[in-house]
């Protein structure tokens, strides 16, 4: 596949493999610091859509702590030591509450730009990290032979757009959701994508490299020019220290700093369509603590503070951004003997953004009484692909959601408005 796009005034033709070859040429010379990068170019002319930000809570986040069902009497009985109490939770409606450490997100709920989907997950019902993560990222049943990720399939089926950075992943590796032929760029920080030479030699080296590849036939030269164009697109962003909006303070830790990088790219208007961010540390088998303190409370606090800071930092761009948080599975209803919860099924997903129909908890609640559980777990009543597919159709302008999620007939929950 070779497609075209103007980037920062230059037009190049490059495919994924060729771009990687060009980046490898510079990296092999010890010049380019580019972590897991790939790039492809698209044709201009399509209408703008939302920026999609997918925050994946790796390890199996406990949705019953994030959004506790306060009115379900079986919840308190099943979690005498770790459950969020009614007096501690931030009330959302007559049934559900919000973990007290998610207080930074409450204003978004009140402004109806934060929605929650309960009892959501993978219909295959795997409690294996590996299998459930594949189902989440690939967007297909575990038995499917489809190897690409659902975001990659969205990018290859949506109307082509003149965007320099269709997708980025902040971190050390490309998530499975981006696996496939579509364009993506992976790096730990925006500033890490650079030619590793002293600053006073930077311009001269870039001119020499561009001259070296100009007018020369072959894939390496085409890829070399494409690599230089990527660096040129990022240069204005890298030349000045990023300053979040006044009053915005990102928390320390990987999630806060990753979302800060996404905000930097979004506000720089480089054409970003999708950003993938991973948040680890959600595998809470032991010693969770209580809502008022302990490892889980601290984890939740960092998560809520990072999301809220990112949303505020976007400013007017928040109106055209959709943030989805998802995890490979939930946790069991009853706490274990080690003060934690083991792998479960149903979970909670959060959606945040200007197009979200917020202030509501979506999904059918199956109940936590013994007769309502699936082998001790919250039963899945909403397929996670229904959430993704609705956003793909209504906020990302992709009418081919059946190709993005093959073999799945999705149903809309009314989560987001049509853009």
The band of 202, judged by pLDDT with boundaries at 50, 70 and 90, is confident
Q: Classify residue 263: in a domain, yes or no.
A: yes
- The count of structural domains within the chain is 1
Q: Classify residue 58: in a domain, yes or no.
A: yes
Q: Classify residue 321: in a domain, yes or no.
A: yes
pLDDT in tens, 134-143: 999 999 987 7
pLDDT in tens, 7-64: 343 333 333 443 444 444 444 444 444 433 434 333 334 447 999 999 999 999 999 9
Q: Classify residue 219: in a domain, yes or no.
A: no
Q: Classify residue 166: in a domain, yes or no.
A: yes
Q: Classify residue 84: in a domain, yes or no.
A: yes
pLDDT in tens, 350-396: 999 999 999 999 999 999 999 999 999 999 999 999 999 999 999 99
Q: Are 328 and 142 in contact (CB under 8 A)?
A: no
pTM for this entry: 0.86
Q: Can you give the residue range of the structural domain that contains 337?
A: 38-192+249-404
Q: Classify residue 416: in a domain, yes or no.
A: no
Give the CATH number, domain containing residue 124. Answer: 3.40.720
């Amino acid at each position: 596949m070779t497609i075209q796009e103007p980037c920062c005034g230059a037009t190049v033709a490059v495919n994924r493999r060729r771009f990687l070859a060009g980046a490898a040429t510079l990296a092999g010379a010890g010049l380019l610091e580019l972590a897991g990068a790939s790039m492809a170019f698209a044709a201009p002319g399509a209408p703008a859509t939302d920026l999609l930000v997918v925050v994946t809570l790796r390890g199996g986040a406990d949705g019953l702590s994030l959004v506790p069902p306060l009115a379900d009497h079986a919840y308190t009985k099943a979690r005498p030591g770790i459950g969020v109490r009614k007096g501690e939770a931030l009330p959302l409606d007559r049934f559900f509450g919000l973990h007290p450490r998610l207080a930074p997100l409450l204003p978004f709920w009140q402004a109806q730009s934060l929605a929650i989907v309960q009892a959501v997950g993978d219909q295959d019902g795997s409690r294996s990290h590996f299998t459930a993560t594949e189902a989440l990222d690939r967007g297909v049943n575990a038995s499917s032979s489809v190897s690409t990720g659902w975001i990659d399939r969205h990018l290859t089926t949506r109307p082509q757009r003149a965007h320099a950075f269709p997708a980025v992943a902040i971190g050390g590796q490309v998530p499975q959701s981006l696996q496939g032929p579509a364009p993506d760029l992976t790096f730990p920080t925006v500033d890490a994508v650079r030619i590793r030479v002293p600053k006073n030699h930077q311009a001269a080296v870039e001119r020499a490299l561009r001259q070296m590849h100009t007018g020369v036939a072959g894939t390496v030269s085409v890829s070399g020019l494409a690599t230089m164009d990527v660096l040129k697109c990022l240069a204005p962003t890298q030349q000045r220290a990023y300053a979040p909006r006044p009053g915005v303070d990102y928390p320390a830790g990987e999630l806060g700093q990753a979302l800060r990088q996404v905000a930097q790219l979004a506000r720089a208007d480089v054409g970003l369509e999708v950003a993938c961010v991973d948040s680890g540390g959600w595998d809470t088998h032991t010693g969770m603590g209580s809502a008022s303190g302990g490892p889980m409370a601290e984890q939740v606090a960092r998560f809520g503070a990072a999301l809220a800071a990112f949303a505020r930092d976007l400013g007017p761009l928040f109106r055209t951004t959709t943030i989805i948080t998802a995890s490979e599975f939930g946790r069991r209803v009853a706490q274990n003997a080690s003060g934690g919860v083991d792998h479960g099924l149903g979970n909670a997903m959060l959606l945040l953004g200007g197009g979200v129909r917020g202030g509501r908890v979506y999904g059918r609640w199956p109940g936590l009484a013994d007769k309502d559980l699936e082998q001790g777990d919250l039963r899945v009543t909403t397929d996670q692909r229904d959430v993704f597919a609705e956003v793909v159709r209504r906020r990302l302008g992709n009418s081919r959601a059946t190709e993005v999620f093959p073999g799945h007939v999705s149903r809309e929950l009314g989560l987001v408005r049509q853009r």
